């Protein structure tokens, strides 16, 4: 080979490899001023958006979300919801009970509106094309790779009656304003291109950046939400430092100034009757040679004693403070200086540094979204289960800790998944969140099957290894929008096992797990037990044998596709490790040197972490007190 050609080829290969390994994310910085009229429920605003195109691509257009436009008769959300009302699921219909057919019946002063009157890029007016909840901006000059532009927007809106997540005047909570998805928000652009996802009802995906937001509103209203209040001495209402004199400006309105660093969204809520409580749970801790700095943290609670008693609301702060050390030990450190639990919305919905709660019951679930939606922030439209499922998994573990419950914390998630798998409605976890045929299938998949993914991963890798995987995942991928492949590769490195098969079966398919005890017999000095696989998803197995004298043995059969074995989880129990079970083979035979007549129980997966859809055939109890052994039901 010609030496020059060889050198050029090596250069091209190295350059290509380097380019493929480069990671990038877009970056934003919002500065917004909004003026709210609480009589008309309308607002006007200005937005300056600094946008960094860190991609290698030239952008000829950009897209913005205009979420409030979903709350208009005939919108995609309206039509989709009414369609779900025609689908029978169990004893009822499939529509979201909060939405139903309410949108089609909204009056002109009750609908939502988001209108961008003018948008400039670097001072030049751009062409706008409205697609209901998506605004397309056709650029007069492309945005070059690795360059920055500035967008300036003038916009106005009308707050809809509370229908889904955001809105006003919820009749249950009596909260005036739940202001989520309220501003023109630029869509995310990543390795897969633009994500101009219409607002049909489900999850979100946003660009990391800083938000500087000024909200001008009736001076009697109390606000809470994302970010740090910059002018507490002018606001008061419990935000001022202890002993600080509050000096409110004159006039009918106050301007609340918030700043939120390194977030992908901004939510606020407002009501003149909010009760504001706060609890400082820690001071800042400086960095050492072995540990990073830990920020101070204050928890805020804003509520009205309308649909729940005050003591139930105020218990949130003490429970959250008690849970925090456990949370940070197992799931990673909380990086911000504040978090706000706010009465509002229509159920429970998570936002950076804050949540909207219709009642206090969902506080823990929504707070844990800060880790999986707020900080890791996978694309929820594509990976809703990596947010809702992992949040549910964490919630169950923390709830068990708070209640000193030593039972199986994830039983509810397993039951939810098994019911889904048997329903005939299941769709793969790879299904886009808005594209599930039924709300019922989406909910069970995202929450239950997603939670089972993580607990069952501990069955495959060992629970202690899984716990370290969770911390590795958080430390490596926080603020980076990870995908399922990122998680799997990280889990493989930590566990030393191949795990792509686990993703392929559990995430990409609806194949189920079902193992059964086939038969037992004696052969010379050994007792043999044959296990058969009925389901189409193969798994490694723990099989526990119990004998008449009370002794036990654990028989561990790795799966061939994992190319390794999990470590011992219970050192008090003798464990026999077998050669791998080939996924193509329907049966596997294990053995013990104990006599058959001493075997009283054969138990596939005594930990119940295996999501077997038919556990009735996982156990065989034997009574040898009669000449003919009796199978105990």
Mean pLDDT of 554-562: 98
Split at pLDDT 50, 70, 90, the class of 1 is: very low
- pLDDT, one tens digit per residue, over 330-359 is 999 999 999 999 999 999 999 999 999 999
The pLDDT of residue 254: 98
The pLDDT of residue 202: 87
Mean pLDDT of 261-284: 97
Split at pLDDT 50, 70, 90, the class of 13 is: very low
First to last CA, the chain: 75
Mean pLDDT of 116-130: 98
Are the C-beta atoms of 576 and 556 separated by less than 8 Å?
yes
Split at pLDDT 50, 70, 90, the class of 17 is: very low
Distances (CA, A) of 451 to 52, 107, 444: 35, 40, 10
Pairing of β 253-263 and β 228-229: antiparallel
- pLDDT, one tens digit per residue, over 567-618 is 999 999 999 999 999 999 999 999 999 999 999 999 999 999 999 999 999 9
- Of 291 and 338, the one with more pLDDT: 338
Split at pLDDT 50, 70, 90, the class of 633 is: low
Mean pLDDT of 97-105: 94
Pairing of β 42-53 and β 147-158: antiparallel
pTM for this predicted structure: 0.93
Residue 117 has pLDDT above 90, yes or no: yes
The pLDDT of residue 3: 43
The pLDDT of residue 632: 63
Worst-scoring range by mean pLDDT, 20-29, 92-101, 130-139? 20-29
Return the closest-CA partner of residue 220 out of 275, 273, 277, 173.
Answer: 273
The pLDDT of residue 287: 83
The pLDDT of residue 630: 67
Residue 71 has pLDDT above 90, yes or no: yes
Query: d(Cα 307, Cα 628) in Å, to the nearest integer?
Result: 63
Residue 15 has pLDDT above 50, yes or no: no
| Residues above pLDDT 90, as percent of the chain | 91
Split at pLDDT 50, 70, 90, the class of 101 is: very high
Query: d(Cα 269, Cα 249) in Å, to the nearest integer?
Result: 21
Cβ neighbors of 496 (< 8 A, separation 6 or more) are 564
Residue 8 has pLDDT above 90, yes or no: no
Structure tokens at 323: 């849970």
Average pLDDT of the residues of the chain = 94
Return the closest-CA partner of residue 373 out of 391, 356, 358.
Answer: 391
Helix axes 390-402, 450-461, angle to 10 degrees: 80
- DSSP label at residue 483: -
**What are the DSSP calls for 200-268, one per residue?**
SSS------EEEEEEEEEETT-EEEESSEES-HHHH-TT-SPTTPPP-PPSSSEEEEEEEEEEES---E
Split at pLDDT 50, 70, 90, the class of 23 is: confident
Residue 476 has pLDDT above 90, yes or no: yes
Structurally, what CATH architecture does the domain formed by 22-207 represent?
Sandwich (2.60)
Mean pLDDT of 3-28: 53
Structure tokens at 593: 């040197």
Residue 6 has pLDDT above 50, yes or no: no
- pLDDT, one tens digit per residue, over 158-184 is 999 999 999 999 999 999 999 999 999
Which one of 85-99, 120-134, 614-628 scores highest in mean pLDDT? 120-134
């Amino acid at each position: 080979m010609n030496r020059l050609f060889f050198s050029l080829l090596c250069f091209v290969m190295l350059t290509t490899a380097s380019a493929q390994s480069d990671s990038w994310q877009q970056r934003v910085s919002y500065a917004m001023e909004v003026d709210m009229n609480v009589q008309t429920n309308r607002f006007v605003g200005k937005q300056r958006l600094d946008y960094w195109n860190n991609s290698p691509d030239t952008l000829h257009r950009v897209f913005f979300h205009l979420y409030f436009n979903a709350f208009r008769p005939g919108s995609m959300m309206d039509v989709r919801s009414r369609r779900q009302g025609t689908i029978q699921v169990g004893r009822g219909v499939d529509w979201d009970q909060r939405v139903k057919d309410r949108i089609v019946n909204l009056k002109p002063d009750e609908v939502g509106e988001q209108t961008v009157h003018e948008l400039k890029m670097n001072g030049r007016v751009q062409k706008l094309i409205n697609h209901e909840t998506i605004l397309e901006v056709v650029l007069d000059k492309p945005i070059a790779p690795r360059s920055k532009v500035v967008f300036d927007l003038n916009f106005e809106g009308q707050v809809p009656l509370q229908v889904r997540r955001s809105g006003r005047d919820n009749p249950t909570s009596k909260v005036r304003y739940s202001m989520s998805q309220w501003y023109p928000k630029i869509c995310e652009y990543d390795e897969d291109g633009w994500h101009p996802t219409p607002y049909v009802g489900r999850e979100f995906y946003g660009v990391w950046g800083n938000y500087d937001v000024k909200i001008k509103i009736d001076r009697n209203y109390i606000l809470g939400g994302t970010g740090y209040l910059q002018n507490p001495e002018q606001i008061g209402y419990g935000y001022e430092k202890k002993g600080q004199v509050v000096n409110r400006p004159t006039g009918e309105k106050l301007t609340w100034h918030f700043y939120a660093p390194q977030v992908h969204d901004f939510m606020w809520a407002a009501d003149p009757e909010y009760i504001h409580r706060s609890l400082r749970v820690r001071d800042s801790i400086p960095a050492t040679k072995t540990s990073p700095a830990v920020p101070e943290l204050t928890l805020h609670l804003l509520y009205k004693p309308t649909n729940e008693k005050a003591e139930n609301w105020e218990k949130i702060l003490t429970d959250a403070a008690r849970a925090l050390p456990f949370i940070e030990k197992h799931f990673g450190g909380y990086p911000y200086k504040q978090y706000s639990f706010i009465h509002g919305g229509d159920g429970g919905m998570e936002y950076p540094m804050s949540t909207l709660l219709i009642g206090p019951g969902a506080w823990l679930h929504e707070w844990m979204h800060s880790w999986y939606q707020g900080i890791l922030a996978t694309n929820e439209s594509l990976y809703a289960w990596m947010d809702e499922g992992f949040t549910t998994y964490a919630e169950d573990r923390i709830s068990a800790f708070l209640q000193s419950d030593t039972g199986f914390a994830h039983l509810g998630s397993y039951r939810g998944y098994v019911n889904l798998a048997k329903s005939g409605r299941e769709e793969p976890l790879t299904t886009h969140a808005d594209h599930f045929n039924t709300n019922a299938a989406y909910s069970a998949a995202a929450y239950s099957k997603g939670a089972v993914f993580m607990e069952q991963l501990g069955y495959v890798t060992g629970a202690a290894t899984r716990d370290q995987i969770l911390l590795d995942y958080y430390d490596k991928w926080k603020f980076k929008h990870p995908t399922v492949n990122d998680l799997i590769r990280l889990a493989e490195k930590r566990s030393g096992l191949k795990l792509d098969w686990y993703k392929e079966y559990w995430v990409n398919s609806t194949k189920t797990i079902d193992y059964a005890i086939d038969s037992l017999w004696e052969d010379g000095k050994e007792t043999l037990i044959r296990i058969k696989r009925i389901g189409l998803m193969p798994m490694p197995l723990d099989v526990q044998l119990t004998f008449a004298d009370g002794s036990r043995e654990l028989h561990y059969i790795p799966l061939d596709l994992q190319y390794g074995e999990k470590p011992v989880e219970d050192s008090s129990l003798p464990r026999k490790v077998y050669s791998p079970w080939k996924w193509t083979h329907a049966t596997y035979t294990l053995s013990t040197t104990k006599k058959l007549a001493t075997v009283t129980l054969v138990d596939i997966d005594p930990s119940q972490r295996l999501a077997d859809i038919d556990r009735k055939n996982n156990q065989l109890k034997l009574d040898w007190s009669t000449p003919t052994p009796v199978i105990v039901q």
